[in-house]
Structure 1
Amino acid sequence: MQLFDEDSVDLLQLSDEDVQDELEYWQNAVFGFIVGANPPWQVLEKFLQRIWSKYTLDKISFLPNGVFLVRFQTQEMKQAVLGSGHFLFDNKPMIIRPWFPDVELAKEEVKSVPAWIRMHKLPLKFWGKSLLKISNLVGNYVKVDEATEKRTRLGFARVMVELKLGQNFPKSVKFLDEKQELVEIHIDYEWKPSVCTKCKLLGHERERSKKGKPQKNNVVRRNSVAREESLAAVTKVITPKSSFSNSTCIETSGT
C-alpha cells in the first residue's frame, strides 16, 4: 500500500461512514471463477442458481475477467457454501473464496486442482481401503462418487483426486497385490489441468497460443447456450459411510 505524504498534495479523505453501506451490502458474499474456462454469464448464472438452490441468492454479479460474485441472504448461508466442498462445471473446478474488504477480485494462481479419474476393470477386492492407496499413485485422494461408494456401478471406480499443475498424468498405475503379484490398472481422466508454457495461463497447451495471446480453446464450444448449460454437470460432495469414511477432503490450494 502506498503511504500518504501529507505535504505532497491535498487529497480527498473518505471516512468509515462513507464505505459502511457497501461493506454491509457485500459482507455475505463469495466470489469465484472456473479454472480453465470462461463460460457465458447466462449459463454460469443458471448453474449457480441450481447448485445453491436451497439458499437464498440475493445477487449474482459478473466481472469481465471471468470472476463472479454471489451475495447470500445470511452469513450462515455464506459459510455453508464455503464449507460444502468441491463443485465442478463441465468437469472443470470452480474455486470459491469469501469476499472481504480490499480483496482483489481476480483469478488467483492455483497450484493444484481436483479432478475425476476412472479406474476401469478394477477387481472388486480393491474397492475398499485399497482404492485410497491406489488413487494416491495418481494424486492426493479426495473422495469417491456415490455409485463407487455404494458399489452400484462396477464397470469402473470413479475417484476425485487433487492433481498438481505440471505433474505427469500416468495412463496406468502398477502395484503389488496381497499375493505379491504385479497388477496394472488403466486410468482415464475426465479433465486434466494444463498450463501453457508460453502465456503461462491455465486451460490450454502451448500449441494453442498464437502470437503470445491465449486462445479461447480452453472453453468447450457449444452450438447453443442451452447445450452448454446441459453439459454443466454438478458434482456433489459424497461423504462415504463405508471403508472410505476415514479420508479427508482436501481444499484446493492457491497463492
Structure 2
Amino acid sequence: MYPDAITRSCTRLEYARVCVLLDYHAILPKYVIILAPNEDGGKRVPIKVDVEFEWVPSKCTNCMTLGQALGNCPLNRPQARNPAQIYVPKTLGDKVEAQVTNLAKSRGVGQGTSLWE
C-alpha cells in the first residue's frame, strides 16, 4: 500500500488516496487498522480507517483475469468441432455400396473402406 502523488504532496487533505495490491481471490476490506502516534507523539495506537474503492475491475472466474467479464473470456468460447460423419448407403445398379465414415471407424471399421453386399 502506498499513497498516490497528490496525497504524498499534501495538496488535497480532505481525504487520503492510496494504491493497494491485492490477491485476485482476496475479499476487499471495508477498513484497515493502522498504527499512528498518539497526540503527544509517544506510543503508537491502532486506528481504524474506513476504505472506499473508487473503481473495482470485473473478475473473470473462468481464467482468473481482472478487467474482463466471464462472457468475454477467451476460454469460454465454444471449440469448433468437426461435423459428425454418418453411414450413408449408395446404390450402384443392383449392388449397394456402404460408405464407412469416422463414426464407424470408432467402432473398429477403417475409414474410407467399402463394404459390398
Greater C-alpha Rg: 2
Higher helix fraction (1 or 2): 1
Higher strand fraction (1 or 2): 2
TM-score normalised by structure 1 residue count: 0.22
TM-score normalised by structure 2 residue count: 0.42
